[in-house]
Amino acid sequence: MRVAVYYRNSDVRLEERPVPTLQPGDLLVQMEACGLCAGETAEVYQLPRAPRVIGHEPTGTVVAVGEGEARFRIGDRVFAHHHVPCMACHQCLRGRYTLCEHFHQTHLDPGGFAEYFRVPAEIVRLDTHRLPESLSFEEGTVIEPMACCYKGLRITPTNAGDTLAVVGAGFMGLCFVQLACLTPAAQIVSLDRNEWRLAQARALGATKTLNPSQVDAVAEMRELTEGRGADAVFLTSPSRAALDLAVSLVAPGGTLHINAPPGDPGPHLSAYDLFFREIYVNCAYSASHVDTRAVLDLLTAGRVRAAPLITHRFGLDGITKAIELILSRGQSLKSVIRPSLTGTAEPVIRAT
């Protein structure tokens, strides 16, 4: 089968690998669509692990079922998460599944950017789901990344009448905007330097958008909140400037939620400032089965939408182009990779 092997952002090669063989309880899935995650373009993280098959947001069709697996059948359209916890360790018993050591040791085989991938039995049991007919394979790729945002909202206190700010209006920022609409917040403020992205945020429910390259965003936020600032700020950009902006937007006693890996090791944030304003800081670097299940239910019910977040499609041989697109941070959101597209397909921009 064909797989896409990541060497560096400018070098992703199509290689031939054997189709994985199944152990009892496993599934073999023919990959239909797999999203490219911005985290996969962070060379500081990826280069030490290269070369390898990346891609962790896949959906597809079951083509073989391991011995003893009774819940899934050949032909099922499925989403499979790429990590599952052990459910039994110190962290799991406290519900902190993404901190389980076993969580990081579980993987789809060989990864999402492959014509076929094997879902190990433990992932089949804990976090593999049939896609409802109403969700396309492409829409199903949104489950995993949106689950990371869902977790961010789940661990951040929000109350009726709050003002929530989302820094960054890329794919993750727009997930947060949609999920924020499901809270009783009074105002949802989206911030980005790109006007096209701010327009997407308004279309998806932001009550106000601010462009920090054009206005004093902190002053505008105070204007919107009787001088207080936002009750919670969700940071989705890795840039230092975005982090500094996010912390200055938080109201005293509010929460700063960090959902993007900081682009440099720091130090960041003034403890002096956090202390005297009694700011809570929390983080979500990944999501668990609790979050993927909730997002699947929200997508199925139509409470959040995936289609407006998918702007481009490429074949397995177009991944370097998709990476360039993410790094340009322009008029694009999520790119999905589809093996059915041959050659380097032209991107398909959806009207939103």
Partner 1 sequence: MPHDTMRAVMFLEPGRLELRQVPVPQVGPGEILVRIRTALTCGTDVKTYRRGHPNVKPPVLFGHELSGDVEAVGPGVERFRPGMRVVPHNSAPCLECYACKHGQHSMCENILFYSGAYAEYIVVPAPVVRLNTFEIPDHLTYAQAAVMEPLACVVHGQNTVQIQPGEHVAIIGAGGPIGLMHLQLALRRGAAQVIAVDLKPDRLAMARDLGATHLINPKTEDPVEAIHRATGGRGVDVAIESAGDAEAWLTALRSVRKGGRVLWFGGLPSGTTITLDTVWVHYGELTLYGVFHATPLDVQRAFELISSGVIDAASLVTGELPLEGVEEALHRMMAGTCIKMAIVPDGTGVH
Cβ of residue 259: shortest distance to partner 1, in angstroms? 22
Here the tokens at position 137 are 């394979």
Question: Tokens 């697109």, residue?
Answer: 325
Q: Counting contacts by CB under 8 A, is residue 88 touching partner 1?
A: yes
Return d(Cα 68, Cα 88) in angstroms, integer. 23
| Separation of alpha carbons 153 and 105, rounded Å | 26
The number of CA neighbours under 13 Å toward the Cβ of 74 is: 5
Smallest distance, partner 1 to C-beta of residue 293, A: 7
Q: How many residues does the chain have?
A: 352
In the complex, least distance from residue 321 CB atom to partner 1, rounded to whole angstroms: 38
For position 151 contacting partner 1 by CB under 8 A, the verdict is no
Closest CA relative to residue 32, chosen from 89, 113, 93: 113
Handedness of CA 206, 212, 215, 219 (dihedral sign): positive
Strand ranges across the sheet with 11-16: 11-16, 2-8, 52-53
222, 277, 293, 329: which one contacts partner 1 (CB under 8 A)?
293
The site for partner 1, by CB under 8 A, has a size of 10
What is the smallest separation between the CB atom of 231 and partner 1, expressed in angstroms?
A: 24
Task: State which of positions 229-288 bind partner 1 (CB under 8 A).
Answer: none
Closer Cβ to partner 1, 138 or 291, answer by number: 291
Out of 7, 11, 45, 95, the only residue in the binding site for partner 1 (CB under 8 A) is 95
Distance of closest approach, residue 108 Cβ to partner 1, in angstroms: 19
Query: What is the per-residue binding string for partner 1 in 106-145, x denoting contact by CB under 8 A?
Result: -------------------xx-------------------
3-state secondary structure of 206: coil
Which positions lie near partner 1, rule CB under 8 A?
Answer: 87-88, 93-95, 125-126, 289-290, 293
